[in-house]
Amino acid sequence: MMPYVITKRTRAIAAAMVLAISGPSALAGHHVQAGEQQNAASSAATFIRCGTLIDEKSPQPLKNALIEVSGNKIVSVTANAAASSKSGPGTWIDLGSETCLPGLIDTHTHTLLQGDQRPGQYEEQILKWSLPYRTIRATQSAQRALDYGFTTIRDLETEGAYYADVALRNAIREGVVPGPRMKVATRALDTTGAYALIGYDPALTLPHGVQVIDGPYEARKAVREEISNGADWIKVYADRSVYHGPGDTMESIPTFTLEELNAIVDEAHRERHPVAAHAMGLEGVHNAVAAGVDSIEHGAYISDDDMKTMLARGIYYVPTLYIFIYADQIHAAEGFQGWRGGTAIHAETFRRAHKAGLKIAFGTDVGGFEWTINPAKEFAYMVQYGMTPAEAIRSATVTASELLRMQSEVGTIEPGKFADVVAVPSDPLADIGALEHVSFVMKDGVVCKNDK
Ligand SMILES: [Zn+2]
């Protein structure tokens, strides 16, 4: 065992020295180099000709645009490029009849979950699937995300798979397996008695889908532990047991006390890490907003007062509309009433949030529904509930990049940003459903999909 210990220590010391000498950005640079090595075959530029380009920077879509890519970065974007401008060395990709847009961003995914709405599905994964098997399945989910056009994701907890998301994020970053850039939350935090698996013989010690903690001291320790193990985000469950309240409201049972939530948010922010809160009903949302989290996940019902606080504090809303519609369909098929009108209240909350000008970031909760279903279905509901197609696209590009604090790297197609480009055969501004048919995906300057 001793040589292993020495090797491990030596590596840790070497890593610490690199950090001390050059800071984290140098490490990021190292990863970029690794990616470039992988694609070293073409040090010459790649040119993508787009019939239409929604670059998310210009006020209007650009016609006959030419995107120049070198390595993993965008070098230039030219509108009205003459067809005869094809010249010089490099790779030319003709998307002259397609609409191109920035790589899409899903800010709420679970790569380590393969559906949990059908009876027994969650228990099977938690109790029967090994951690290695779940991780292998997660690499498949990551590949699917990329195929659907999502070049960046925020993976919001592993559901009992510990730190497997950190391993997946790093393996993708190093070019070991294909997948989107990932921000990860590792293990979500919840209190005793609030999260599956529960309801079994008390004599049994069973695993949970979360890290179970109680009290502000355990809260701070858990946040420190997760960050030290590689978490980019902290995920916390603010409530459970959501139910239809008086009028058109949804109420819930808060999990953590405000004292506990404050400790989680304070500790995470002290270490410069943002916090995402699962909050479904009035009380859960209110507590999470009061504690100053950075994003409200789901938010089936948010009071007007809490929306005002969210606006004032710049707290994002990630509505995840489709998962609840999907769940209702499953529950109806199984013969019991799921959420009793909850989706209608959720839709109304979305409409109010949009009208109030809240920052709404695209997120789907995919993994809660199977990865074989395209999470881009979410777009259609956002438009059905009041967004224009252009606004829905912006929520999955610019707004999502801002939530992830990655706006200098992704979210628009402009010089200096990562070369993440997708294309669809028809106009998504005319029919948002076009985004369910991504035919071309480039991530980091590498073509991952081209159906032409
Ligand atoms: Zn989720």
Q: Please tell me the number of Cα atoms within 13 Å of 78 on its side-chain side.
A: 14
User: How remote is the CA of residue 224 from the centroid of ligand 1, in Å?
Assistant: 22
Count of other CB atoms within 10 angstroms of residue 153: 31
User: How remote is the CA of residue 76 from the centroid of ligand 1, in Å?
Assistant: 37
Residues 132, 28, single domain; the answer is no
Q: Which two tokens stand for residue 288?
A: 């999470």
3-class secondary structure, 263: helix
Residues 76, 165, single domain; the answer is no
User: How remote is the CA of residue 196 from the centroid of ligand 1, in Å?
Assistant: 14
User: How remote is the CA of residue 368 from the centroid of ligand 1, in Å?
Assistant: 7
Count of other CB atoms within 10 angstroms of residue 218: 16
Number of domains in the chain: 3
In-domain check, residue 80: yes
User: How remote is the CA of residue 129 from the centroid of ligand 1, in Å?
Assistant: 19
In-domain check, residue 90: yes
Residues 71, 8, single domain; the answer is no
Residues 181, 224, single domain; the answer is yes
305-362: per-residue pLDDT in tens? 999 999 999 999 999 999 999 999 888 887 766 666 789 999 999 999 999 999 999 9
User: How remote is the CA of residue 363 from the centroid of ligand 1, in Å?
Assistant: 9
- Look-up of token digits 């889908």: 209
User: How remote is the CA of residue 13 from the centroid of ligand 1, in Å?
Assistant: 36
In-domain check, residue 145: yes
User: How remote is the CA of residue 6 from the centroid of ligand 1, in Å?
Assistant: 40
User: Do residues 184 and 142 touch, judged by C-beta distance below 8 A?
Assistant: no
Residue 28 belongs to domain spanning: 2-38
In-domain check, residue 408: no
What does the pLDDT read at residue 87? 61
Q: CA 186 from chain center: how many Å?
A: 13
Calpha distance 21→17 (Å, rounded): 6
CATH of the domain at 442: 2.30.40.10
User: How remote is the CA of residue 270 from the centroid of ligand 1, in Å?
Assistant: 25
Calpha distance 68→50 (Å, rounded): 11
Long-range pairs for 74-83: beta carbons < 8 A, 24 or more residues apart: 74/413, 74/414, 74/415, 74/416, 74/417, 74/418, 74/419, 75/45, 75/415, 76/415, 77/53, 77/413, 77/414, 77/415, 79/53, 81/49
User: How remote is the CA of residue 77 from the centroid of ligand 1, in Å?
Assistant: 36
Calpha distance 258→310 (Å, rounded): 17
User: How remote is the CA of residue 320 from the centroid of ligand 1, in Å?
Assistant: 9
Domain boundary among 383, 403, 423: 403
Burial (CB count within 10 angstroms: exposed 0-12, middle 13-18, buried 19+), residue 311: middle
Q: What residue type is 138 in one-letter code?
A: A
Question: Hey, CA dihedral for 252, 253, 256, 258, is it positive or negative?
Answer: positive
80's torsion region: left (phi>0), alpha (psi -120 to 50) or beta? Answer: left
User: How remote is the CA of residue 366 from the centroid of ligand 1, in Å?
Assistant: 8
Residues 128, 179, single domain; the answer is yes
Residues 98, 109, single domain; the answer is no
Residues 440, 391, single domain; the answer is no
Residues 83, 219, single domain; the answer is no
User: How remote is the CA of residue 14 from the centroid of ligand 1, in Å?
Assistant: 37
In-domain check, residue 174: yes
Residues of the chain with pLDDT under 50: 1-42
Residues 91, 108, single domain; the answer is no
Calpha distance 181→58 (Å, rounded): 25
The whole-model pTM stands at 0.90
What does the pLDDT read at residue 82? 72
Residues 281, 315, single domain; the answer is yes
User: How remote is the CA of residue 109 from the centroid of ligand 1, in Å?
Assistant: 6
User: How remote is the CA of residue 78 from the centroid of ligand 1, in Å?
Assistant: 39
Q: What residue type is 300 in one-letter code?
A: A
Residues 90, 159, single domain; the answer is no
In-domain check, residue 263: yes
3-class secondary structure, 17: helix
Whose CA is closest to 56, among 77, 42, 87, 28? Answer: 77
